[in-house]
Structure 1
Amino acid sequence: MAVTAAGLCGLAGCSGSNESSTEGDPNTGQSASDGPFTAVSIEETALVIDVRDDADVGQVNVIAPDGSRIRSVEVVTGQTRVTVDIGVTYDPGTYEITTDSGESTSITLEPDLVIEELGVGANNLDVMPASLDNLRGHEATVVVRNRGSGPTGIRNLAFGGDVPRSSVELLSTSYRSGIADPEDGDDELDQVVVPAKSSVRLFSNTFPFLVSGGSMECSAEDQGSQAVVLVTSSVSGSTIEESFDISYNSTGDDCTVSVISKRV
């Protein structure tokens, strides 16, 4: 059964802050000393709205970039923080935070994914999940960073170019993600959430580096080969890709695949 992971940091080891504060930033629309709001930030997949303890605010509204109201939350006396979950399928852009009396601030939520690293499982056994068992050497590990100001989810992980086993066809399916579940090598994740300003390490379950022809096929590979990594964002629905130079080396009956560098 497929599951959804939020963050994946504890499972796979990732770096980066899970919070992108907008306090005092031009994107908030006002400084911390103006109006009823002291700060607006995004934590994981939730908007966190801080209200002055002496402010007379009965309701906080969240307005989407298209002008529609997506949520209204009552603020009780003495309450200084309001949390609104926006998930990972929202419209990117600037969100207005308003009160019924017309006071407002804003925050811009725009994810920006970049594929930073690709590794062959056989060369990175120290980070590969034990749940993948004896197949982990044929899988890939990929690090993806969200440089943007809003969270998103990764719904697909696929490989193309000159990898031994392409999985680009996964991008056109709705029932396969290509992302292994680190806790259960026989299962896969529906998606992996990547908060703003953070990164996640993904693991494949499509055997992109499984060479079936032994040394004969290995020696026939073009030494100018490249692997293409593709991931799909849940917010934009678009697929981003990155190319890496790879090499094939024959050792007896074995074929070793190595990642040389990311193509610039």
Structure 2
Amino acid sequence: MSQGPLTRIAVEGTTLVVEVSEEADIDQVNLIQPNGELFGKRDVATGAQQVSFEIGTAYAPGEYRVIALKGEETVVETSLSIQPNLSIVEMGIGRNQPDKMWDSSSDKIAEEAFVTVENQGSGPDAITKLLFIGDVPYPSDEEGTNYADNDDVSGIYDPETDSEIDAVVIEPGEQLTLYSYRSPFAFLRGEGTSCKSEEQSGEFDLILETQVGADRISKPYNIQYSASEQFDNCDITIRET
């Protein structure tokens, strides 16, 4: 996007970048939020080619206005939409698709899941919680790990630190893979769903909670358990509904 003295306006990662032409006769750039309030202002030094605004992942999604000023006078005003658009591309279980998991022992990854997420929007977001609700072996609600309503627990694993991470930032245009931390596909006696001597089928929802706009992204899946005489020794098959 370009207009007059502003040659380019774009979101890069979690930053809004405004590029200024060499000939521009302006001394300030203001960023106005969708509600009309000032988000921030930047002085433009003589010869400066760029100013930036760190929007992070706690901004209000919507239409933003960029105003270039000379003194008190508006030289040019333009707008852009800053809005994430997240979708779940794929999910699977470590025991079934170990090649999609992080590099670890098969025992550790077998009970975890991977989730591929894409942001087709124009703004960044942060995924703050990964939930499995329904007929999984060890669900995220009171039927299992019981962290669905706990703001301090994300259920997201970070292979780099080998620990649970608070949030994962996803930039506009990015596709990334999340991993579960709370073993949603672990069989425990008396919790969730266990194997039985006959086949079983059910449904569950994969849910992502996000920071921008406090949105929830969910996708339903069918789940099938093969017959087994042992509570923890059946095969699991999942597919999108």
Q: Where on the TM-score scale, by shorter chain, does this alignment land: which range? A: 0.7 to 0.9
User: What runs of 5+ residues in structure 2 fail to find an aligned partner?
Assistant: none
Compute the RMSD of aligned alpha carbons: 2.0
Match of 1:114 in 2: 87
Match of 1:189 among 165, 169, 189: 165
Match of 2:148 among 171, 177, 181: 171
Q: Does 1:234 align with 2:211?
A: yes
Q: 1:171 to 1:217 in 2, by over 3 A?
A: closer
Using the alignment, how far apart are the partners of 1:248 and 1:170 within structure 2? 24
**2:217 counterpart letter in structure 1:** I
Percent identical: 34
If the length of structure 2 is used for normalisation, what is the TM-score? Answer: 0.87
Classify the secondary structure of the residue corresponding to 1:236.
helix
Q: Does 1:243 align with 2:216?
A: no
Using the alignment, how far apart are the partners of 2:194 and 2:88 within structure 1? 29
TM-fit CA distance, 1:149 = 1.4
Using the alignment, how far apart are the partners of 1:221 and 1:190 within structure 2? 39
Using the alignment, how far apart are the partners of 1:230 and 1:66 within structure 2? 29
TM-fit CA distance, 1:132 = 6.8
TM-fit CA distance, 1:170 = 2.6
Aligned length: 228
Using the alignment, how far apart are the partners of 1:71 and 1:88 within structure 2? 16
1:249-264 superposed matches below 5 A: 249-250=226-227, 253=230, 254-259=233-238, 261-263=239-241
Confirm or deny: 8 A CA contact 1:118 1:244 kept in the other structure: no
Match of 2:129 in 1: 156
Using the alignment, how far apart are the partners of 2:43 and 2:19 within structure 1? 13
TM-fit CA distance, 1:105 = 1.2
Confirm or deny: 8 A CA contact 2:111 2:186 kept in the other structure: yes
Richer in helix (by share):
1
**2:45 counterpart letter in structure 1:** V
* Structure with greater Cα Rg: 2
Q: 1:220 to 1:39 in 2, by over 3 A?
A: farther
TM-fit CA distance, 1:134 = 2.4
Q: Does 1:207 align with 2:144?
A: no
TM-fit CA distance, 1:127 = 2.5
User: What runs of 5+ residues in structure 1 fail to find an aligned partner?
Assistant: 1-22, 24-31
**Deviation digits for residues 155-175 of structure 1 (CA, Å, limit 9, x no counterpart):** 000101110111134332121
